A and B are shown apart, each in its own frame.
Chain A
Amino acid sequence: MEKKTKRRDFLFTATYAVGAVGVGAVVWPMIDQMNPDASVKALASTEVDVSAVDPGKTITVLWRGKPVFIRRRTQEEIAEAKSVKLEELKHPEKDEDRAKNPEWLVMLGVCTHLGCVPLDQKGDYNGWFCPCHGSHYDISGRIRKGPAPTNMEIPEYKFVDANTIKIG
């Protein structure tokens, strides 16, 4: 009797295990089909000509369906961004780490709270202001006030030549 039960237990466990693997193998494609497809991924990088951008101006380009702010900062703005003490920041990041070339700030124009596009040259810190839920960012795109948890994201980018930025 004891022996028979054990044999049955083994069969049940083996059946459940094989069944679980089978279900998983069917469910995963159903889930993964919703992830970004090959055509979406293929559009993952963009080149931008920035020769026409004057100091103190921002241009917005679309990258991966999201706005990217490219701001050519003035000397005063750079000085202001560098003067902020790290202790004052909710998400401490040095300006040097955010803008490798301090004249150019390249960042995702997406509020880290719930994804709205912040407005240029607005808010309490002369940077950006998100109209949705009132997050204030400074001239380095760092969160200073409001519900957003982190600074605006810096995408991967590089200067291909003096006037061209490649994002992504």
Chain B
Amino acid sequence: MSDHEYTPKSKVGKWFNDRLPLLTLANHLTDYPTPKNLNYWWTFGGILTFCLITQIVTGLVLAMHYIAHADMAFQSVEHIMRDVNYGWLIRYIHANGASMFFLAVYIHIFRSLFYGSYKSPREIIWIIGIIIYLLMMAAAFLGYVLPWGQMSFWGATVITNLFSAIPLVGEGIVTWLWGGYSVDNPTLTRFFTLHYLIPFLILGLVVLHIWALHVPGNNNPIGIDIKKPSKDTVPFHPYIVIKDGFALLMFMIVFAFFVFYTPNILGHADNYIEANPLVTPAHIVPEWYLLPFYAILRSVPDKLLGVIAMLSAILILAALPWLDTSKIRSAVFRPLYKQFYWILVADVLILGYVGAMPAEGLYLLIARIATAYYFLHFLVVLPILGFKERTTPVPLSITEPILGGSPNLAAVKKKDGFRNQ
């Protein structure tokens, strides 16, 4: 935080700030110099903060009416839907809010991948982000169990059984997680507790995520280090606040569309049948946001290796700052990486699609190829690309191409040879 010295104007303010510098913090957040070329892909950090707060607030309200007991959970959710004033609204916001949260986080992650935001000096921001993402998946899974429908029960059974793949201690761990010999009431009550806890862990990590961000400052679409504050920056308030606010409004329109017009489209009809330990639904699928990883799990014919592959697919992201050997951050100046980036996007979408389909025949074959490519991208393509790729010239500052006389970055780059770096 390279702020100028800040002194509150009022006497009371000064007295308070000398004892707890909250006003200095507020001043830092207001004046925080931000690259002036940030595009709308940079608004998802703010949108995600909104999503987290929405989930916490609606979750608190739901917890006032929900009963975490195997015999009553299902009925209590129906009670929320039918009897509690605006219960339907609050529950639909919470349920669809989870999907919106993941939608935003995937855009946020893929923005980082495109503009190289995970590279030095932002590795710690990135790794905290991956931990947040893992906790989000845990919270989403635990929350999905609480209504105690058929998908809740069997989803919980399948996911907890993943731990049984661990040699020797696996069965013991699963029994420990369940608190019994199958998913049952003890499992439900502990899942409720953990589901309640995790959002607050995420909130703490979000603070660290933003703190770590404010050390080097934001990356930007051309991915260069900029001087702060300078002609390349604008203060966070009002410029970014307004831009983030506008993007948030657009996002809320999409959110509201799901809540009010198709509140169940992202869920599964089987979850409106109460949990039955004797009958497994014919086709178990996780929520859409976990499908790519589910496809990876199923594409490996061995139980333990399947679980390892699925976990590696997530954890490999944490190693990304070191797997990507290119010094150039933004894909704008990396003609080859840009293509591989879009192939990766397509690959993940394909994995998501086959994850929703039965694991047989052509679907299984596609899932296997897509899984192999996913790992190939991170373990082979990215490390080699950094050495082989001929990047295009990067401007020295954000302002330079514009003051150079042309708003067309590509034209300016071609004209000037000296900017090669």
Residue A24 is within 8 A (CB to CB) of chain B in the complex: no
Residue A56 is within 8 A (CB to CB) of chain B in the complex: no
- List the A side residues contacting B359 at CB < 8 Å: 133-134
Contact B278 A60 (CB under 8 A): yes
Q: In the complex, which of the residues B160, B162, B182, B284 contacts A66, with contact meaning CB atoms closer than 8 Å?
A: B182
Min CB gap B171→A, angstroms: 10
Residue B298 is within 8 A (CB to CB) of chain A in the complex: yes
Contact B176 A114 (CB under 8 A): no
Among the 9-residue stretches B72-80, B300-308, B404-412, the one with 4 or more Cβ atoms under 8 Å from chain A is B300-308
State A147–B367 Cα separation when bound (angstroms): 15
State A40–B182 Cα separation when bound (angstroms): 10
Contact B181 A116 (CB under 8 A): no
Contact B278 A114 (CB under 8 A): no
Known: A34-B190, A36-B180, A132-B158. A67 touches B301 (CB 8 A): no
Contact B181 A117 (CB under 8 A): no
How would residues 36 to 51 of chain A score, 1 for a CB under 8 Å from any chain B CB and 0 otherwise?
A: 1100100000000000
Known: A34-B176, A117-B279, A117-B280. A65 touches B157 (CB 8 A): no
Q: Please, how many residues of chain B have a CB less than 8 angstroms from a CB on the other chain?
A: 36
Contact A116 B303 (CB under 8 A): no
Q: Which of A114-130 contact B (CB under 8 A)?
A: 114-118, 130
In the complex formed, the residue of A with least CB distance to B279 is A117
- List the A side residues contacting B178 at CB < 8 Å: 36
State A64–B186 Cα separation when bound (angstroms): 13
How would residues 79 to 122 of chain A score, 1 for a CB under 8 Å from any chain B CB and 0 otherwise?
A: 00000000000000000000000000000000001111110000
Contact B186 A40 (CB under 8 A): yes
Contact A115 B161 (CB under 8 A): yes
State A158–B158 Cα separation when bound (angstroms): 30
Q: Say which size band chain A's interface belongs to.
A: 20 to 34
- List the B side residues contacting A134 at CB < 8 Å: 358-360
State A130–B181 Cα separation when bound (angstroms): 20
- List the B side residues contacting A116 at CB < 8 Å: 154, 157-158, 280, 284
Min CB gap B153→A, angstroms: 11
Contact A62 B277 (CB under 8 A): yes
Contact B175 A36 (CB under 8 A): yes
Can you list 8 pairs linking A and B with CB atoms under 8 Å apart?
A: A34-B190, A36-B178, A62-B277, A64-B181, A66-B181, A66-B182, A67-B278, A148-B303
Extra 12 A-B pairs, beta carbons < 8 Å, given A31-B176, A131-B280, A147-B306: A34-B176, A36-B175, A36-B178, A37-B179, A62-B278, A64-B180, A65-B182, A66-B181, A66-B182, A116-B158, A117-B277, A148-B303
Q: Which residues of B contact A (CB under 8 A)?
A: 154, 157-158, 160-162, 164, 175-184, 186, 190, 277-284, 298, 301-304, 306, 358-360
Q: Which residues of A contact B (CB under 8 A)?
A: 31, 34-37, 40, 60, 62, 64-67, 113-118, 130-134, 147-149
User: Closest 9 CB pairs between A and B?
Assistant: A65-B182, A64-B181, A115-B161, A114-B161, A116-B280, A114-B158, A117-B280, A115-B157, A40-B180
